[in-house]
C-alpha cells in the first residue's frame, strides 16, 4: 500500500464505483499514467475490481473489493488523525527534512 495516491484512490471509491475519468477528476494532481499504474497495482493485489462493459464507447468502472473496503476501514483512524492535525502538518518544512 505504498505510494502517495493509493490511499486517495481508496477513499474516493468508498462510496461506490467510478469510471476512469471520474476518478481522475476526483483525485486532483494525479497524472493519467500514474492513475493507470496505481489502478493496475491495486487490481492485482485484490483491492479493486475492474468491470469492463462491452459497448461503444467502451466503459470501465472501478470499485472496491471486500479486501479494499477492509483496508479503508483500517485507514479511517489515520485519516481522522490527519484531519485533526492538518494545520500542524501543513507548516512542516518537508523540503528541509533529510
CATH code of the domain in which 45 resides = 1.10.10.10
Q: Per the domain annotation, does 96 fall within a domain?
A: no
Q: What is the pLDDT along the chain (98 residues), one digit of tens a residue?
A: 677 899 999 999 999 999 999 999 999 999 999 999 999 999 999 999 999 999 888 899 999 999 999 999 999 898 899 899 999 988 998 888 87
Structural domains of the chain, count: 1
Range of the domain at 27: 4-91
Q: Per the domain annotation, does 97 fall within a domain?
A: no
Q: Per the domain annotation, does 98 fall within a domain?
A: no
- pTM of the model as a whole: 0.81
Q: Per the domain annotation, does 22 fall within a domain?
A: yes
Residue 3: its pLDDT value, please?
Answer: 77
Cα–Cα distances (Å) from 83 to 12, 25, 67, 76, 89, in that order, read 16, 22, 24, 11, 9
Count of alpha carbons within 13 Å of 85, Cβ hemisphere only? 9
Q: Per the domain annotation, does 66 fall within a domain?
A: yes
Q: Per the domain annotation, does 60 fall within a domain?
A: yes
Q: Per the domain annotation, does 49 fall within a domain?
A: yes
Residue 1: its pLDDT value, please?
Answer: 66
Residue 20: its pLDDT value, please?
Answer: 94
Amino acid at each position: 500500500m505504498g505510494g502517495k495516491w493509493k490511499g486517495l484512490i481508496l477513499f474516493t471509491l468508498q462510496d461506490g464505483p467510478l469510471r476512469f475519468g471520474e476518478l481522475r477528476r476526483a483525485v486532483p494532481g494525479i497524472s493519467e499514467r500514474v492513475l493507470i499504474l496505481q489502478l493496475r497495482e491495486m487490481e492485482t493485489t485484490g483491492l479493486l475490481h475492474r468491470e469492463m462493459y462491452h459497448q461503444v464507447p467502451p466503459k470501465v468502472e472501478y470499485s472496491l473489493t471486500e479486501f479494499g473496503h477492509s483496508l479503508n476501514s483500517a485507514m479511517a483512524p489515520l485519516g481522522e488523525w490527519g484531519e485533526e492535525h492538518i494545520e500542524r502538518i501543513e507548516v512542516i518544512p518537508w523540503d528541509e527534512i533529510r
